[in-house]
Structure 1
Amino acid sequence: MLVNFCRFRKCQIRQLMMTCFVLSAVMIYWESFGNNLSNHVKSYSLRHLLSPFDFISANLTISRGEARKFSDYNYLINHERKCTNRDVLLLLFVKSSPENFERRQAIRSTWGNETYIERTLGVTVRVVFALGLHPQPSQRKKLQQELLREDEKYNDLIQQNFLDTFHNLTIKLLLQLGWTHAYCPHARFLMSADDDIFIHLPNLIRYLREVDRSGVKDFWVGKVHRGAPPIRKKDSKYYVSEDMYPWSVYPDYTPGAGYVVSKDVASRVYQASLTLNASLYIDDVFMGICANAMGISPQEHAFFSGEGRAPYHLCIYNQMMTSHGHVKDFHELWRQATDPEVQRVSSGLLGRLYCTVAKVRLLCVPHFLNTYPCKAAFL
């Protein structure tokens, strides 16, 4: 009897210790989690109370002369005739930095190969890289010479003379909008993407062809951030002061890693940018502000990745649009994602059932929370 009592007491003690450990861990993270949660709840509530954010665009409206200072930069490298073909399905702007030559090369030889796209997919896509000046004067002259040689060979760099830094990303967005308006307004779709994103062009082209046939308007698709609050922590890369943005919530927007808009949206967002204060350096949020000013809302697509990298799996490749955070694996991922085996594995009743189970295992766990949502497993 005494032995059983001792065992019972030991079991209780172990349970108590485990409970204390769990509670301690929760308490350690609760404050930051609670703050983030309350910020999101508060901002999401404000989103519905104050939608459609007319007060934000009204307060950020400035004269055209004042707004011009944000885009009044000269072209150092330009290709005015890049879009002379009138039948351009997609103009794809890749945001790059002057020193990222290897990333640009990887894109040119995989998903961004215009010749492959036209020959294999039967459509015209124009891929160009948006750049500024290297911020370090000591490296700028050498890098600029290398960029000129690179462009002489590939004819796909669009560069203006602003400093290419994180805090000038909104200026780089204005470059894309302005160049599209001036030199490629007839492209039926415009895509903006980072140079560390993988785009499954065959899947994307099939999707855009279907959308184009429907004659869609107000089309803006990607992974959507809804009711997101500004980050007020000064040590964060994405810190935004209350002086810069005094409100508690951003309009809905798509992460700058990769999104697509129809040509009418590109045109209207460009027009909005001509009278809005572009000092907010979070470019995807500024895009959301411009679009909201024109009454345009983003649409969620389950297979556009946000900040995370998509799982490596044949059943994912079958529907993948974008995956973020790739630098060294472009070639291998391109080979795997475009392998005919992808279609074979995922076709038929058994194939679809197998892929549903595989996607549930991959997507319905916290590890891949920042890529595709769990609901994508059932699409």
Structure 2
Amino acid sequence: MFMNFRRINKCQCVQMLSTGLVLCVLMICWEELDHHVVSHMISFSHRYLVNSYDFLSSSLAISFPHQGSAGVDGRRVSYPYIINHPGKCRAGDGKAWDDVLLLLFVKSAPENFERRQAIRDTWGNKSFVWSELGVSVRLVFAVGVYSDVGGRSMVQDALHREDQIHGDLIQQNFVDTFHNLTTKLILQFHWSQTFCPQAHFLMSADDDVFVHMPNLVKYLQRLLRSQRGAKDLWVGHVHRGAPPIRHKGSKYHVPYDLYPWPSYPDYTAGAGYVVSRDVAAKIYQATLVLNSSLYIDDVFMGMCAKAMGVSPQEHAYFSGEGKAPYHPCIYDRMITSHGHAADVRFLWQAATETTADSEAGGILGKLYCTAVRVTLLCLPYYHNTYSCLAAFT
């Protein structure tokens, strides 16, 4: 009945100590682990079994839509433009609309001068796109007001000088913080509908995202030539059945009083996605009537799309929050990759050089690249960039 400790050998002692250690760790971490597992199970059940988002047109509707972003009560607050370029998408005479394939709207912090310049010199270079790819694009950066009051005047003067040189900043008078990202999203769709409604596509991207423009342009041109045409398109890295994060220590914490439901509508990662002209118009209409107090911009985008009957489409080579692995066989297919603050020029050079040789590899080259993509993309480390299925597409 009693354990004879003298008979316990060294191996059994190690097993008992290991078991005790594991139990201690589980007891310490159980609350967080249990919350994570349970929340995802509830979220997926709600998304795929219940799948009712009627609240988007009832609980989250606002009574008096006005242009701007939501205040504390969810009603619109109008933010005036500090810097604007209303003729950005017009032809040389300033009267007629230009035939713009893609409007690139990059979300940038006021102080990120080097990131913006790197984008202008690489994938956002409209002269390269016109001369090498034969299409017209427009690049603008969405910024707010510098958050540090002490340095605000100096940064604002620098922004004005930057815009005098490049003419591509769109700034409204709101403080540029994480909790105003939805305000910046609304700025993008309102500006595009007012000043560039004829653009066939609108792309929203972070300023640390790399965009493989040759691949993106080919993809968009193929859509325009298709029988369906460029309609009902919202494409990117899709998050399905994602639960709100209730942990107060998280940057993405959303309290129950702000969003009481267990699951978000499907949405694409805010790092980079593309919508067609008709979808951009629908999202704009939704921002006029939905409460935009939810400060996670990509989730708010999903709420707007769901309310308007628009569903996101997964593309294997739109990245999520992660950075794609470095390899020419990846550059050959990629469209976006996230997390590139200092290596944009290197990646652009590698991607554009690879483009010229990508189709000359023959069967052996294609087999080699497939093997490389399987090796790189099917590792758990890269699960938030491209899925393993991307290796075979």
TM-score, normalisation: structure 1? 0.92
Question: Which 10-residue stretch deviates more, 36-45 or 179-188?
Answer: 36-45
Runs (4+) of structure 1 exceeding 4 A deviation are 9-31, 66-69
- 5+ long unaligned stretches in structure 1: 1-8
SS at match of 2:59: helix
Following superposition, the deviation at residue 16 of structure 1 comes to 7.1
CA distance change for structure 1 residues 345 and 90 in 2, over 3 Å: closer, same or farther? closer
Deviation track 1:229-267 (CA, whole Å, cap 9, x = no partner) reads 111111111111111111111100011100000000000
CA distance change for structure 1 residues 127 and 52 in 2, over 3 Å: closer, same or farther? farther
Give the alignment partner of residue 110 of structure 1, picking from 107, 122, 144.
122
Deviation track 1:117-142 (CA, whole Å, cap 9, x = no partner) reads 11111000101000010112211111
Q: How many residues align?
A: 372
Letter in 2 for 1:356: T
- The equivalent residue for 2:192 is 180
- The equivalent residue for 1:74 is 80
- The equivalent residue for 2:89 is 83
- C-alpha separation between the residues in 2 aligned to 1:328 and 1:211? 32
CA distance change for structure 1 residues 16 and 378 in 2, over 3 Å: closer, same or farther? farther
- The equivalent residue for 1:6 is none
State the identity %: 58
Question: Which 10-residue stretch deviates more, 169-178 or 53-62?
Answer: 53-62
Of Structure 1 and Structure 2, the greater helix share is in 1
- C-alpha separation between the residues in 2 aligned to 1:260 and 1:72? 26
CA distance change for structure 1 residues 212 and 18 in 2, over 3 Å: closer, same or farther? farther
CA contact (8 A) 1:305 1:324 kept: yes
- C-alpha separation between the residues in 2 aligned to 1:46 and 1:204? 34
Give the alignment partner of residue 146 of structure 1, picking from 141, 152, 158.
158
Give the alignment partner of residue 223 of structure 1, picking from 219, 224, 237.
237
- The equivalent residue for 1:311 is 325
CA contact (8 A) 2:286 2:308 kept: yes
Letter in 1 for 2:55: F
Letter in 2 for 1:162: F
CA distance change for structure 1 residues 275 and 334 in 2, over 3 Å: closer, same or farther? same
- The equivalent residue for 1:300 is 314
Give the alignment partner of residue 246 of structure 1, picking from 250, 257, 260.
260
Q: How does 1:1-379 map to 2 (within 5 A)?
A: 31-65=31-65, 68=68, 70=76, 72-85=78-91, 86-214=98-226, 215-340=229-354, 343-344=357-358, 347-379=361-393
CA contact (8 A) 1:314 1:345 kept: no
Following superposition, the deviation at residue 212 of structure 1 comes to 1.5
- C-alpha separation between the residues in 2 aligned to 1:365 and 1:124? 38
- 5+ long unaligned stretches in structure 2: 1-8, 69-74, 92-97
Letter in 2 for 1:64: F
Letter in 2 for 1:76: I
CA contact (8 A) 1:83 1:126 kept: yes
CA contact (8 A) 1:44 1:227 kept: yes
- C-alpha separation between the residues in 2 aligned to 1:336 and 1:24? 49
CA contact (8 A) 2:200 2:230 kept: no
Following superposition, the deviation at residue 365 of structure 1 comes to 1.0
- C-alpha separation between the residues in 2 aligned to 1:138 and 1:19? 55
- C-alpha separation between the residues in 1 aligned to 2:76 and 2:115? 27
- C-alpha separation between the residues in 1 aligned to 2:388 and 2:90? 42
- C-alpha separation between the residues in 2 aligned to 1:375 and 1:22? 35
Deviation track 1:130-166 (CA, whole Å, cap 9, x = no partner) reads 0010112211111111101100000000000011111
Following superposition, the deviation at residue 343 of structure 1 comes to 3.2
Following superposition, the deviation at residue 344 of structure 1 comes to 3.9
Letter in 2 for 1:142: M
SS at match of 1:61: coil
SS at match of 1:130: strand
TM-score, normalisation: structure 2? 0.89
CA contact (8 A) 2:143 2:176 kept: yes
SS at match of 1:238: coil
Q: CA RMSD in A?
A: 2.2
CA contact (8 A) 2:66 2:288 kept: no
